[in-house]
Chain A
Amino acid sequence: MNNYYVKRTGRAVLTLWVTVTLTFGLIRAIPGGPLEMLRARLVRQGVDPARIDSIIQSRQQQSQPIYVEYYEYMSSLLSGNLGESFYFREPVSKIITDALPWTVFIMVTATIILFAIAVVWGALIAYKEGSKFDTVSSGVAILLSSIPFYVLGILFVVVFSYKFGVFPARYRTSPGVSPDLSITFVGNALYHAALPIASIVITQVGLQTLAMRGNSIQVLGEDFVRVARLRGLSDRRIAVRYVGRNAILPMYTGFLTLIGFNLGGSVILEEIFTYTGIGYYMFEALINRDYPLMMGIFLVITTALVVSVYIADLTYGLVDPRVKSGDSSEAY
């Protein structure tokens, strides 16, 4: 039991280490390199060539043996120093701390809503298995899953923002709204988050609903449910205590994992809605070849995913006592 926790923790640390090393290697593997990109940009801006050379010079680091560079990279990461963004001329960590809460807000809210819908919807379908409701619902669920979230996002922007003007097409809040805990601010933030959240919920709810349906159907077929019926327990009690609990539990790890995966998808989503979360900044970093920012955000997203899966694995045994901590809880 304890052995499992130790091993699992080791694996999480190993994953983070591999990712950090990967980013270290990637930055060096990139053709052209950040300085070439910077030079090209300065030339485009019409900066005096002599000044460009001196700027590049000032940024050029003394070339050191690779292991020294690696050591310095690792130690600066551990002290929270992710470097400075070439493009925004700000520390990467500052950009991330400003942007990350917004992305997390969108993705966590969306994932909670979509799971709430999926659990209720899936359970209902399973209960009425074989009915017209089942056929139609399952069909709708599959149809929804065939829409990529960004396609729906684009559609939303075109229809709701530009055609009817009922929802904002960009930014986290309206200009001039100060970020405090006032009702205006929260309301405004929710208003701006509505379309991104809706496009995630609508396109991802289908698969989760089908998963919940599958779980529920399986539980409904179990002996203890039949025994509960024979004992004359109320339908409500059977639905909530017997079927619901057992069907929801397998979805628990999926829930935390999906939040992590959605953070990864934020690059496309936030670009469509011009929502300045980490995904948006990562896109800006990608097109500007701003490697420190790009790698910083990549590391943050990976860490978030690793930690969420780690929590899911460790706590699954707690929420579902049937699972012995061990291989069986490492489902995902």
Chain B
Amino acid sequence: MKHTESKTESEDEFSFGAAQSDVEVTTADRLRDFYREFIYKPGLVAWEDNRTRIGATILAVYVFVGTVGTWLYRSPSTNQSERSLQPFQTMEAPLGTTSSGEDVLAMAIHATPEMLIMILSGGIFATALAVLIGTVAGYKGGTTDRVLTTFSDVAMSIPGLPLIMVLAVVVSPERAVVIGILITINYWAGLARSIRSQVLTIREHSYVEASRTMGVSTPRILLKDVIPNIMPYVLVNFANAARYVVFASVGLYYLGILPTSVANWGIQLDNAYSQAGALSGGGTMYQLAVPMIAIMFLALGLILLAQGMDRVFNPRVRTRLAGESESETEDDEDAAAPTEVMT
């Protein structure tokens, strides 16, 4: 991307934004304190990008709605307002009601916390496992590498969505945390492969070698020397994994494959589509539109964040001028692997 945005933001706005970006980006405060300079500094660079800023703002809105919003706004229940109310008619149900009198806005708002939990659990599971397997495989080499690489190759080759569907039928998970993990059950594999190829170059760096000669233990080297270097990349992929969790979970809820005990935009879509007669009349389009917009903006926020942060990390996406002087020692083929082709 060409970064044409003006550099005229006041210092005030800048730091305010950076702090907010941090909240969004790191997700785990523990990690943030630990790796402050590896996340905070790239975060500052990323924040200069419009995409990161918009993405982080969108996500902040979702976090707000999912935490404070659910507390401020009533929960959905049947017959809480007049039935089949069109949107913008009454302040009682601003976005209208379903044919059973449920407040559409309340349904959308109260589906947010579960979605955020799913995103967090799925994203953390996928990235943590990928980091663990990818760094160990890349750093250790030899038989460990071969075993782990084969393992992730096999996991990667099994199609995600059908596998999740079959597992969802077998396990029928009720809790959002479990669903998040289930959805990323083999998503980590592609990421582990590309992390491995990056670790291959990092392990040759002099400071890693120095640690090795000093007899520092492998877990310590991985934690102190290797992982901080791939942190920006991991965060980019956290956002991509999160987007995958959103798409897959809503799709599964829409199909009714996941248990409907948890509120979700997918269930809302399904109800609007199959029961509310959104097809025949067209007058109930708003019931479809509300969950659709909720899904799309969340995905947009995640994708913008990933794209914006990608700039910090990925030499391929840097501009031509900057790219010329960069010495690109990374394994380009692997770095450019389309980790997010699964939809």
Contact = CB atoms under 8 A, between A and B. Distances in A.
Interface string B165-202: 11101100000000000000000001001000100000
A163 B278 CA distance: 10
Contact of A147 (B299, B304, B314): B299
A134 interface: yes
A92 interface: no
Given A150-B251, A250-B336, A305 B307 contact: no
B169 A129 contact: no
Interface residues of B, number: 67
B341 A207 contact: yes
Interface in A255-312: 257-258, 260-265, 267-268, 271, 282-283, 286-287, 289, 294-295, 297-298, 301-302, 305-306, 309
B7 to A, nearest CB: 16
A130 B303 CA distance: 20
Q: How large is the interface on A (under 10, 10 to 19, 20 to 34, 35 or more residues)?
A: 35 or more
A163 B299 contact: no
Interface of B: 1-2, 4, 51, 150, 153-154, 157-163, 165-167, 169-170, 190, 193, 197, 243, 246-247, 250-251, 254-257, 269, 273, 278-280, 282, 285, 288, 292, 295-297, 299-300, 303-304, 307, 314-317, 319-321, 323-324, 331, 333-334, 336-338, 340-343
Contact of B337 (A162, A214, A264, A332): A332
B1 to A, nearest CB: 6
A99 interface: no
A298 B168 CA distance: 14
Q: Which 8 A-B pairs have the closest CB atoms?
A: A264-B159, A130-B2, A146-B300, A146-B299, A331-B333, A221-B320, A15-B157, A264-B161
Interface string A54-91: 00000000000000000000000000000000000000
Contact of B333 (A130, A163, A250, A258): A250
A265 B167 CA distance: 15
Contacts of B165: 267, 282, 286
B254 A217 contact: no
Contacts of A325: none
Contacts of B323: 217-218, 221
A180 B178 CA distance: 48
A199 B230 CA distance: 35
A157 B256 CA distance: 19
Chain A contact residues, majority secondary structure = helix
A26 B170 contact: yes
A183 B340 CA distance: 38
B316 A129 contact: no
Contact of B292 (A151, A261, A295): A151
18 contacts: A11-B150, A14-B150, A26-B170, A129-B319, A142-B303, A143-B300, A210-B307, A214-B336, A215-B336, A217-B316, A218-B315, A221-B321, A294-B166, A298-B163, A305-B159, A309-B157, A327-B197, A331-B333
A51 B302 CA distance: 56
A289 B153 CA distance: 29
B56 to A, nearest CB: 15
Contact of B162 (A14, A301, A328): A301
A261 B2 contact: no
